[in-house]
Amino acid sequence: MEGVIIKMIQINYDKQYNKSSSPYSESHRIKVRCWQTIVVLLDFLDPKTIYTPELRQYYSAQFGRDLIVEVNKHLWKAIELNHLPSVRGYIEIVIIKFALLYPELSIEDPNFIKTLLDPNAKITVASSFLLIAGFIMTKLHFTLSTVSGIQLK
């Protein structure tokens, strides 16, 4: 399951699927399906039910990498790429869901704040980041550490 999530995110970097600028093309459909699947697979990464801190620690030691950190890193890269609105919408949903599962990790990621405050960011990327930040602010009610709450505000 861990490998599937990463591979589905990495499809966005594959040159074969770069030309998904036309709706309903094969590469566009593949990207949409991948992100739809990731929305469902995120339930398996819930630290309160399935992917407990103990299990996360065990897998990190077993495989020499922390899946949660890796997914977080890939999500912030993937959203900066060019996507059709139908794909971008699913990416936003995945990031919001992931950020609600792991708020400290997501919001404190330097890529998030750097891109959110970047005056030269593409309009689509900037609007995605504002949407994500706004949703997180309304849902978390600043239960984050003081630094994260202030940084997000």
- Note the pLDDT tens digit of each residue in 79-88: 888 888 899 9
CB 41 within 8 A of CB 1: yes
**First-to-last C-alpha distance (Å) of the chain:** 34
* Full domain range(s) for residue 67: 2-152
Band of pLDDT at residue 62, cut at 50, 70 and 90: very high
Domain count, the chain: 1
DSSP assignment of 86-107, as one string?
Answer: HHHHHHHHHHHHHHHHSHHHHH
Three-state secondary structure of 31-57: HHHHHHHHHHHHHHHCCCCCCCHHHHH
- Note the pLDDT tens digit of each residue in 14-58: 877 766 567 878 888 899 999 999 999 999 999 999 999 999 999
